[in-house]
Amino acid sequence: MLYSPERSSLAGKAPAGSVLSGITSRIIFSRRIFPAGVRHSGKRHTLYGVKDENGSSMGRGYRSISKLSALLLRALPLLLLCCLAAFGSETAHAQSPKTWNQRGQVAEDHKDYDTAFQDYQHAVNLKPTDLRYKANFARARFLAAAAHVDRGRVLIQSGDLNGALAQFQRALEIDPSYEAAQQEIDQLQKQIAVSQQQIALDNSNIATQNRTVFSEQNPLEKSVAQIQDQINKGQILNPITGTILTKYALEGEMTVTGKAIYKIANLDTLTLLCG
C-alpha cells in the first residue's frame, strides 16, 4: 500500500496489521488526525489539542489577553502624549552648553540679538562657571537691550508712543541695569502724560464749543420762523379778478405796508352813470 502526498486520503484499504511506509499509525476522524489510542470526545480542541483539567479550551485566557490588548491600545495615545510633553520640556537640557553657545554665535552673526541672548543664557545655565559663556551672554544681553531701545526711538519719531514704550520695557526686562532704557521710559511716560492732558483739554474745549452752538440753536430757529413769516406776508394776492388799470410801483421796487401798488378793476360788468 503506497501513500500519495497529492491526495488527502489513502488509496484503497490497508490490510489488518500492515504499516504504512514513513507514516506513524493514525486514526482519521472528521478530517482531523489524532494520536493512536486517544479517544475523541467530540469537544472542540484548541491549538495543539490542549485542554484544561475541566475539558474546556483555553479560549477564556485568549479572551482575557485580547481585552488587555484593547486596553493597552486605548491608553497608547495618552502615553505617547505624555512622552512627547516630557521630551519637549527636556529639549533645552538635552543639548550641551557648547551647542547652545554655537547657536548663539550664529544668531549673533545674523544680528538676531534676542535669539543670541536666549541661546547664551541656556549655555550659562548649564555651565555657569565657564567665563567664555558668561562673556558671550553679557555681550548679547547688552546688544539685545540696545536694539530694543533703538526700535523704540524710531517708533517715537513715527508717533507710536505705546509701541515705543513696549520696546523700552522689553529692553529693561532683558537688562535691568540698562540705564538708557529706564531713562527713555521715564521721559516717554512724561510725554504720554502731557499728551493725555492735551487730549483731555481739547475734549473739554470741544464740549464748551458744542454747548455754545447748542445754546444758539433755539434763537436761530426763531429767527428762521420770523423770516419765513415775512416771506409769506410778502406775497400779493388780488382781492378781485380784473384788469390792472394803473401801476403805482415798478417790479423790484421796495414798498411798505399800506402803500398802493396798482389799481385793478373788473371790466366784465360796467355801470354807466348819466349826469
C-beta of residue 21 within 8 angstroms of C-beta of residue 38: no
Under CATH, which number does the domain 95-205 receive?
1.25.40
Mean pLDDT of all residues belonging to the chain: 75
Q: Who contacts 33 (Cβ-Cβ below 8 Å, separation ≥6)?
A: 26, 27
Average pLDDT over residues 11-37: 43
The sign of the CA dihedral 53, 57, 58, 64 is negative
Q: What is the pLDDT of residues 177-191, one digit of tens each?
A: 999 999 999 999 898
What pLDDT was estimated at residue 71? 64
Q: What is the pLDDT of residues 139-164, one digit of tens each?
A: 999 999 999 999 999 999 998 988 99
Tell me, yes or no, if the pTM score tops 0.75: no
Which one, of 204, 208, 184, 186, lies nearest residue 196 by Cα?
A: 204
Average pLDDT over residues 241-256: 82
Q: Who contacts 167 (Cβ-Cβ below 8 Å, separation ≥6)?
A: 148, 149, 151, 152, 155
Provide the angle, in degrees to the nearest 10, between the axes of the packed helices 179-215 and 131-158: 20
